[in-house]
Amino acid sequence: MRNKLVLEHVSKEFGDGDTSVKVLDNVSLQVKAGEFVAVVGPSGSGKSTFLSIAGALLSPTKGRIIIGDQEVGKQSAKQMNKIRLDHIGFIFQSSNLIPYLTVRDQLLLISKLAGNPKRTSEERADHLLKRLGLTHRSNAYPEVLSGGERQRVAIARAWMNNPELILADEPTASLDSERGRSVVQMLADEVKLHQKAAVMVTHDLRMLDLCDRVIYIEDGKLSEQPIQH
């Protein structure tokens, strides 16, 4: 099956000279269509750094990143923005919603930025809001939503442009275990249903049975862990 994300010999150092820290040390990973990969490891081990590099939000010190069929770093900043908008859905620990936009407009904005037509965007937004149980919240502003609702809006927003790669950094951190599990289940379903690829950083080991692969990160190295279903 086709690779949706490839990292080849990626290293990342912050700072230079005596104060430099090597967070990733020559790591490689391939994620195929239909795969849901979990990344686990101690706090400060480089999970967020890894995900930011995988999503082309941060440049590696060394190594290559290929998203879909495009190698990162060969494009202009503008082209890179377009690749991110069209091909990657980001979900962060806190939902990062825009306070002055309604739930529905958060979704429409992302679609507009990608240059999609209004009519189809509205249909997609309404479809996703329904699927995530948010139809009754369409016209609400983020401040009145519960933590679980906000995170579901963030997921709907991440899916708005139908990205082939989903990157989630501790998406369940602000949720209780039941809501957290339902969020991860939605990610797993989306990956299987539409043959997407997803990488999720998590500290919640109870979620790992919903993933296909578990990658452990420590001391700058990745190691694949056996999964217990």
Ligand X SMILES: Nc1ncnc2c1ncn2[C@@H]1O[C@H](COP(=O)(O)OP(=O)(O)O)[C@@H](O)[C@H]1O
Of 145 and 158, nearer to Mg ion (C-beta) is 158
19 binds ligand X (CB under 6 A): no
Token reading at 197: 């690829």
Of 14 and 194, nearer to ligand X (C-beta) is 14
What is d(CA 185, CA 169) in angstroms, rounded to the nearest whole number? 15
Stretch that binds ligand X, among 28-36, 37-45, 189-197, 205-213 (CB under 6 A): 37-45
Residue 193 in contact with residue 130, Cβ under 8 Å? no
Question: How, if at all, do strands 3-14 and 88-91 pair?
Answer: unpaired
Q: How far is CA 106 from its chain centroid?
A: 17
Give the containing element (helix H, strand E) for 193.
helix 177-194
133 makes contact, choosing from ligand X, Mg ion, none, with CB < 5 to 8 Å by partner type, with: none
110 φ, ψ (degrees, to nearest 5):
-60, -40
Among 48, 121, 151, 172, binds ligand X (CB under 6 A): 48
Of 48 and 172, nearer to Mg ion (C-beta) is 48
45 makes contact, choosing from Mg ion, ligand X, none, with CB < 5 to 8 Å by partner type, with: ligand X
Question: In the range 164-203, which residues lie near ligand X by CB under 6 A?
Answer: none
Token reading at 140: 């609400």
48 binds Mg ion (CB under 5 A): yes
Residue 163 in contact with residue 86, Cβ under 8 Å? yes
Residue nearest Mg ion (C-beta atom): 48
Q: Which stretches of the chain bind Mg ion, using CB under 5 A?
A: 47-48
Q: Given the rule CB under 6 A, which residues bind ligand X? A: 14, 21, 23, 41, 43-49
